[in-house]
């Protein structure tokens, strides 16, 4: 029995994936370093066997990247795999593998803070962004910017500070069993609060400024946390399993294949962490390009170049066949016409030859010379072909001329 209670969204996903990916391969060429999750109180057990059956990757937790933000760990070469939100800014060399779950904003405010004006509440506030979330940081930079506030007007921290932290910003799956990010003395805040003059923006327009984010409702009573007595308007974005471009293609292919083909076994253990794992996501809406290994698996059933353009190629072949057939027919017809013409010259030479002895040799020689000139003019005009038939004609003319000379 695996217990995921108390772990945060990205940490849960990384922890589960770290177990799932471990295989019997021990070589460095099959090793993937995972950006380390914090405490993960579950036993590997059955999950390990899934990837032992289907993957060639051997996963180890990177101690070097402990305490670093996920993208910083990847770009520094301290880790090979991490989970980040799809709202993160593009970083050269980072490659996406798959969306793994929907990461939802959970916004909490200290219970002793009375909200009467949103801008006044944000001014001078201290925000705790759980897990150094890229989405959490960028989201609050976005909303404070819309309030005409600068970074001097508030403070963002990546650690919880009792009696100092005013708001907790957590992006992760909606999971009532996952409340490690919660701190006593805080209550949920909804983005459609009557004190929020921009509440309609979060209901309808957030996607225009943050294209990968969309409005989301956390149903009432999902959590046993103050403030969730009513539905909560918030925002959400997909969380991506990412790597860097120099991770071998065969390892990422195996990771992608196993996650997709064995999803029912994974969701049986942690449904909220693998709900978004599927092949139907928009590859062009990702913050990072797909890794070649993931792309190779996702495109495994797509038709190749010849199959995609088979109909066009067939049409072109058919048209070429028609053109060749027409050309050959024209060539045969032209050759036939030239043959018919040379035959008339044969007949005329034989006619001159038959008159030898009855007509004047001088007259016959003049006719023969004129016939020869006519034949060569036709040859130059390409009305006759310079082939064996024409050679026979010249031999016939020469023989007749010899007969006339004698």
Question: Residue-wise over 122-145: b if at least 16 C-beta within 10 A, else e?
Answer: beebebbbbbbbbbbbbbbeebbe
Higher pLDDT, 312 or 92: 92
pLDDT band of residue 339 (cuts 50, 70, 90) is low
pLDDT band of residue 269 (cuts 50, 70, 90) is confident
CA proximity to 180, closest of 144, 210, 146, 223: 223
Check residue 125 and give its pLDDT.
Answer: 86
Residue range 160-179: average pLDDT? 90
Per-residue pLDDT tens for 127-140?
Answer: 999 888 888 888 88
pLDDT band of residue 120 (cuts 50, 70, 90) is low
Strand partners, 183: none
Higher pLDDT, 59 or 173: 173
Higher pLDDT, 67 or 166: 166
- Is the pLDDT score of 14 beyond 90? no
Q: Is 1 helix (H, G, I), strand (E, B) or coil?
A: coil
- Is the pLDDT score of 184 beyond 90? yes
Check residue 42 and give its pLDDT.
Answer: 37
Confidence (pTM)? 0.67
Check residue 384 and give its pLDDT.
Answer: 81
Higher pLDDT, 329 or 102: 102
C-alpha span between 22 and 36 (Å, rounded): 14
Residue range 188-216: average pLDDT? 75
Give residues with Cβ within 8 angstroms of 48, minimum separation 6. 19, 20, 22
Higher pLDDT, 270 or 184: 184
Per-residue pLDDT tens for 31-75?
Answer: 778 786 543 333 334 455 666 677 777 766 777 887 788 899 999
- Is the pLDDT score of 340 beyond 80? no
Residue range 388-404: average pLDDT? 87
> What does the DSSP 8-state code read for residue 260?
H
pLDDT band of residue 168 (cuts 50, 70, 90) is very high
Check residue 93 and give its pLDDT.
Answer: 94
Q: Count other Cβ atoms within 10 Å, centred on residue 289.
A: 15
Residue range 69-90: average pLDDT? 91
Per-residue pLDDT tens for 281-292?
Answer: 999 999 999 999
Check residue 10 and give its pLDDT.
Answer: 55
Give residues with Cβ within 8 angstroms of 36, minimum separation 6. 14, 61, 62, 63, 65, 66, 79
Higher pLDDT, 156 or 53: 156
pLDDT band of residue 243 (cuts 50, 70, 90) is very high
Per-residue pLDDT tens for 295-321?
Answer: 999 988 766 666 667 788 888 888 888
């Amino acid at each position: 029995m695996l217990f995921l209670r108390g772990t945060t969204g990205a940490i849960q996903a990384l922890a589960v994936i770290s177990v799932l990916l471990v295989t019997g391969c021990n070589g460095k060429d099959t090793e993937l370093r995972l950006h380390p999750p914090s405490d993960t109180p579950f036993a590997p057990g059955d999950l390990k066997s899934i990837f032992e059956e289907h993957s060639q990757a051997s996963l180890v937790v990177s101690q070097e990247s402990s305490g670093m933000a996920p993208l910083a760990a990847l770009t520094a070469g301290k880790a090979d795999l991490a989970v980040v939100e799809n709202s993160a800014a593009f970083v050269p060399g980072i490659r996406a593998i798959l969306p793994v779950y929907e990461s939802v904003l959970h916004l909490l405010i200290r219970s002793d803070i009375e909200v009467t004006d949103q801008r006044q509440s944000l001014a001078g506030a201290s925000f705790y962004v759980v897990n150094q979330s890229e989405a959490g940081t960028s989201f609050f930079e976005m909303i404070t910017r819309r309030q005409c506030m600068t970074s001097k007007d508030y403070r963002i921290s990546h650690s919880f500070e009792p009696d100092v932290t005013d708001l907790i910003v957590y992006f992760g799956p909606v999971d009532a069993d996952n409340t490690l990010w919660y701190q006593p003395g805080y209550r949920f805040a909804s983005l459609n609060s009557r004190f929020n003059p921009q509440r309609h923006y979060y209901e309808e327009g957030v996607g225009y400024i943050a294209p990968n984010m969309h409005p989301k409702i956390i149903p009432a009573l999902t959590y046993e946390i103050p403030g969730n007595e009513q539905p909560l308007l918030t925002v959400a974005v997909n969380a991506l399993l990412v790597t860097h471009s120099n991770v071998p293609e065969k390892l990422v292919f195996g990771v992608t294949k196993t996650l997709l083909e064995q999803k029912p076994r994974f969701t049986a253990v942690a449904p909220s962490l693998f709900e978004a794992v599927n092949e139907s996501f928009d590859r062009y809406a990702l913050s990072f390009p797909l890794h070649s290994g993931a792309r190779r698996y996702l495109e495994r059933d797509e038709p190749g170049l010849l199959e995609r353009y088979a109909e066009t190629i067939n049409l072109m072949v058919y048209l070429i066949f028609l053109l060749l057939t027409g050309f050959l027919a024209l060539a045969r017809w032209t050759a036939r016409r030239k043959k018919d013409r040379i035959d008339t010259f044969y007949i005329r030479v034989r006619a001159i030859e038959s008159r030898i002895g009855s007509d004047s040799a001088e007259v016959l020689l003049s006719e023969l010379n004129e016939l020869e000139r006519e034949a060569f003019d036709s040859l130059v005009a390409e009305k006759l072909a310079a082939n064996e038939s024409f050679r026979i004609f010249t031999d016939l003319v020469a023989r007749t001329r010899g007969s006339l000379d004698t």
